[in-house]
Amino acid sequence: MRLGTRATYSMVLGVLIAALLPAAVGAIERLPTFDEIYQSRHADDLTAWGRRYERGVGVAQDAKKATMLYCKAAAKGDREAKFYLGQLLAFGRGIERDKDLAAAWLHAAAAAGDERSRSMLMVLDVGDAPTRAAVCPLDAGGRVTRIASRPHPARGAIADLVRRLAPNYGLDPDLVLAVIETESNFNPSARSPKNAQGLMQLIPATAARFGVEDTWDPEQNIRGGMAYLSWLLKHFDGDVELALAGYNAGEGAVERHGGVPPYRETRNYVSRIIARIN
């Protein structure tokens, strides 16, 4: 029996819908969860998803999730993420406005070659240099997880500075003091054969990554080191030994070896600090 044109069209359309619908449903089901997105090691992916969460494109708008993704991407050196963090903080888009911290992130992005950040810094009129380190705004709430079971005995200006600043990074000051003792023995002029510099022995790449312009300035050095240590603790889900191993050998080495790398220096480093805080 010959079908009319309309009936034929309807039949063909029905067949096409039946064929395509499972694929469409499957595509929706394959949308990654936020936790899956956050586990990505690719900075550009983290930043792209951060933009989607910031603007609510295909996902529920969520400034905190956007900030978390930008922070992780920025810690990996992504200048786009640094710019977007500065923008969020400058205008208080879904998070508390913080002009000084915005400037820190915009300076970091501008140092990496981002022209938009240079323009925004001129608009904000915040000066030629940041007044604080570029840290994740979600780390600045003063919530401290105690890690050390006994206080570090250090006294003096550096110890006082650490105890004042550590809560801004959510860090136990006694852990930070143990790291400084192991890294430099509290010598702000210390330099290693690998060009690690200052109290927390920041190599130039790590200093730049966390917005430190002068590694020989004790406060800048401490802020940069604490920003990195705080990031490592979050990256390794609060595992102190992995965070310390990452501080010594780099997070990439920890990830490659699936734990504390089998380097004598790194294992001794972790053991020494753990012994000091326990």
Q: Among all residues, which ones are annotated catalytic?
A: 183
Distances (CA, A) of 49 to 25, 77, 159, 215: 21, 16, 40, 33
Angle, alpha carbons 160-224-68 (nearest 5°): 115
